[in-house]
Structure formats: C-alpha cells, structure tokens
Structure 1
C-alpha cells in the first residue's frame, strides 16, 4: 500500500522482517522505498536538490526547473512561448527542412500576437522607464500594471494616449502605496502635460472606482529635506511642527506638499539655515505664494516665530 505524505519524511516499513533494513530515497522518482521488501513508503516528494540557474539567460532557460516568476509588468505575464535555436536536445544541428519549419513557427508565433499584446508590451516598456526615472519600488510598478490592465479591459483607451494612461496608473499606484510622487514628477517622467494627466487620472478613478488615500505629509518632508541636504535636526523639528499642525487641525484640505515645504521652511529659520522660499518652491513644485500662505497660517496658529 502506498501512502502519501506532505511533510513527514521520517517513514519506516511496518513489517517485522524489514525493521533492520534502511529506507532508500529515490530523488529522481520522488519516492522512498523500503530496502527489505521494496514497498513504496512515500511518493510525490518535493525535489529539494540545489537549483542551478546558471549565469546567463540561455543557461537559466536550460537549467531552471520552474522558470522565472510571473509578473503583471510583462505583456504575457512571463508565460511567453520560446522557440529555441536550430539545435536539438543533444546539441546537434537540425536538418534544413526542420530549420525551415521552425523558422516558419517563429514567424507565425510573432504574427499570432494580437494588437492588444503589442500595445501592452509598449506600455510596460514605458512603465519600466518611468520606474527608473522616479525610483519607485517593484510593488508599485506591479500595482500600476494591474491598474493599467483594468483600464484596457474597461476600454478606456479610446481617445486617450497610452503615455497619459500609464502615467495616471503609476500615480494611482503611488497613492495606494503611499510613495511620495507628485503629479508634476509623474508628468515630467512620462513627458505628459499635467492637465492631460489630471484629466485621465480623474477618469480612471471614476470608472474603476478607485479609493485613493491622501498622501502622508510626513513622507514629503523626508523627500524634500533629503533632496535639499538639510540638517537632521531641521527635519526632526519639521516633523514636530507638522504634528502640532495636525493637532490644531489646520492641515485638513491643505496641499500636503505645500504643508511639508512650509514646515521645513519654518524649521530652517529656527535652526539658522538660510534657504529662501523660492528654493523650496522649485524643489517641491508648489508656488512660493502658496508656501508663504501656509507659513503665515502656521506662524499665526502655533506662534512659533515672529
């Protein structure tokens, strides 16, 4: 009788005559066999041997047992058809007739790809380029690819450019994962007008029913201060100012980037760092008038500096 075990590999034959015989493991078949009577004690074992993937793409495809992980950022989710070189499994060259047949197969495999597949390939190539420019993590790119696939399925691409839609999907993914990237950052990375990006973003949110959380203002404090090489104490004081502003409930409805820039500006004054509002405006992408208004409100409410 064959018994299936999932985790417990410490099995022994129950016959009295086989107690002195060891169990034999057959890793190729995934079985453990009694050394006395030959009874299969365990089958369908997981292969625990070393995974040798090689160092090149060709070696990986030859040696890997599982293949690369599937990903939404690939147009075919990583499940593509690969027609190899003109050699058989032994490394011998194929005949001319077989070569011709395989070349025809490659041609028809390429032709069989739909226009939707080609469009996804271009869109995700652009997405990877924006990922490099903005420095966003892989999970955000996966979320952006998922949102863009939903956009394509909902047929929202008519009358809209692929660049603006993939940029809007990336911004929505950044909002979902609380990665501080503004509309201006996304627009510059994707070479899209901010007006068009905002319009397509509103369409995606409305049609797909996305519920995007507001950005955490503290994340913009870290981003701006790191880009401007401010002191650590200045950053900590800015966090404290923001915390007091939230306690006084003067951050509701305010632009998070402007609030972060204003908190940092006041913190710079308190710590003796002379940086103009113009520089904060250029770094944050918010007008100096907006920053000045936020600064005046914070000074009046918290009575920090004269």
Structure 2
C-alpha cells in the first residue's frame, strides 16, 4: 500500500499541501492554495489557478469543427423569450416518421399544451402584441434590433399599466414607431399605419403616450436622414441625391431648417437639386411621398433660392 500523498504534483483539488519544491526567490516552503502554487514565506505566486480555456461545448460525433448547440438565443420578440417548447406533428427528433397512433396522441398533447401555454390574460395579450410586432417588422423589412427594441418598449409599457383602456394594436404600432425613432431608422407614421391594424391617428396616439409616459430616447429627425428615402421614391438619379445632400447641409448651417417640417425641407432640397441637375421632378410627386403639401415645398424652395 502506497503511503505517499495523493495529488502531490498540484491539482485544483489540493489545498494547503506542502510540495517538495523550493521557492525560486527565498528557498522557502511552496504550498498549493485554491489552485495556485505560492511561497508560504515571501508570498511569491509561482503558478496561478489553471483555467480550461477550451470550448464550452463537447462533440460526441468526432467533428469538433461544427458543434451542434441546442436551442435558440433568448429574444424579447417572443412573449416567453423563446423558452417555450413546440410539439412536432409528423416526425420525431431524429427525423423519423411518426406512426398514425402516435400522431393522434401528439395532437392531444399539442392541444393541451396550447391551452396551458399562457398563465394569465396579460401574457396572452403580450403574445398577441409580439406577433403583431413580428408581422409589422417583416412587412417593413426592418432590422432585428428594431424589433427587439419595440418589444422592450411594449413590455415596459405593460409594466407601467399603459395598455389598459387602449387597443393592443395601437400601442404595438406606437412601440414600433418609437423604436424606429430611437434607432435612427427612417420610417414615417404613414408607413407604419399601412402595415398596422389601425390608422395613422392611432399610431400617433400610441407613440405620444409612450413618449410622454416612458420618456423615449428619440433623436431629432433631420432632413438629411430623409433624403435617401425620398430620392428613391421619386426614382431620381445619383446626381440629384448628392446635390440635395449639399443643399440640406447648407440649409442646416444657415438655420433654414430650424422650426420647419424636415419632410418639407428635404423635399424642397430634392426639388431644387432636380432643377439644377436637369431632372424633372414635380412638386406634387414630392408632396405625395414626403407627406406634405405642395405649398410647403414651394415655401421652402423659395427660402433656399433666396
């Protein structure tokens, strides 16, 4: 039977055990404490705690280059943050087909699972709002970050009890418009209302309630941010956009955009740029895509000419 100490070469499990090696500085006693080797006399740390810096996953197929991870990341777009379980219908987890008797059993389990998915009426309403946000985000081709922020805004509004007495579609559309304003994505109230299940006045109402009650960090909309969308809407050339950007920069420096509707200033810059470049763009066409009147474009155009 061996009488030597276990783990005498220094493992993490070893604590307060003296080693045979000496300290390289003072020739003192070297001990192992909490996974590190240090001198008991001068306190010199010889080796620190050893960490496993390899991957946290394990591959049992022998292919370490393409490891498989289970489950999607957490997301605020779904009411349960993506932690719910979905019961399949025709195939099992390995991809094999399921028998008819098993499909009937899974159908009953799926029905009971859907009934018990929501713990309260508020959670059920949140699921409906998340589905509306996902639908509107997909229809407008917005990035995922906007959808995440919109869902976070709606959740905060639900915690502040701002949903009571108002339609879910109204607050959801207002949350999406507020997320666009916070992330600097150029989307108008009319574009949100086109894909929402409410009119433009309701979208404006929902956004106003969220902005006042929650204090959204929305930036000031500037005319230069509206130039690309308006130029693309009227099918203008690149020279018009470049000249319109120069005119917008001049208008902001000269103070012509202060207190004015940014849509009207941007449309007037595009109209003046089209005249200078030789591109025929009518005021009525610009007024339709900028959601302003032709009179507003003429006023801003005259100010730019002067």
TM-score in terms of structure 2 length? 0.73
Please say if 1:265 is aligned against 2:271.
yes
Superposed, which structure 2 residues align to 1:160-199 within 5 Å?
A: 160-199=166-205
Q: Is the 8 A contact 1:164 1:192 kept in 2?
A: yes
**2:97, 2:297 → 1: CA distance?**
71
Aligned match of 2:224 = 218
Aligned match of 2:81 = 77
Aligned match of 1:7 = none
- Structure 1 residue 227 displacement after superposition: 2.1
Q: Deviations over 1:1-35 (max 9, x none)?
A: 4349xxxxxxxxx99xxxxxxxxxxxxxxxxxxxx
RMSD: 3.1
Question: Matched residue of 1:267: which SS?
Answer: helix
Q: Deviations over 1:193-241 (max 9, x none)?
A: 2222222211111111223111232121011112222111111111111
Question: Matched residue of 1:280: which SS?
Answer: helix
Aligned match of 1:155 = 161
Aligned match of 2:115 = 111
Q: Is the 8 A contact 2:234 2:281 kept in 1?
A: no
Q: Is the 8 A contact 1:178 1:216 kept in 2?
A: no
- Structure 1 residue 66 displacement after superposition: 3.3
Question: Matched residue of 2:191: which SS?
Answer: helix
Aligned match of 1:140 = 146
Q: Deviations over 1:243-284 (max 9, x none)?
A: 111111111121111111110000001111121100001111
Aligned match of 1:8 = none
TM-score in terms of structure 1 length? 0.73
Change (3 A) 1:207 1:265: same
Aligned match of 1:292 = 298
Aligned match of 2:11 = 2
Match of 1:246 among 246, 252, 274: 252
**1:136, 1:264 → 2: CA distance?**
25
Q: Is the 8 A contact 1:234 1:271 kept in 2?
A: yes
Aligned match of 1:27 = none
- Structure 1 residue 88 displacement after superposition: 9.4
Q: Is the 8 A contact 2:271 2:283 kept in 1?
A: yes
Aligned match of 1:67 = 71
**1:222, 1:239 → 2: CA distance?**
9
Q: Deviations over 1:105-139 (max 9, x none)?
A: 65543333132232222222221221222221111
Change (3 A) 1:93 1:255: closer
Q: Please say which structure displays the higher CA radius of gyration.
A: 2
**1:93, 1:221 → 2: CA distance?**
56
Question: Which range moved further: 120-129 or 238-247?
Answer: 120-129
Please say if 1:47 is aligned against 2:51.
no
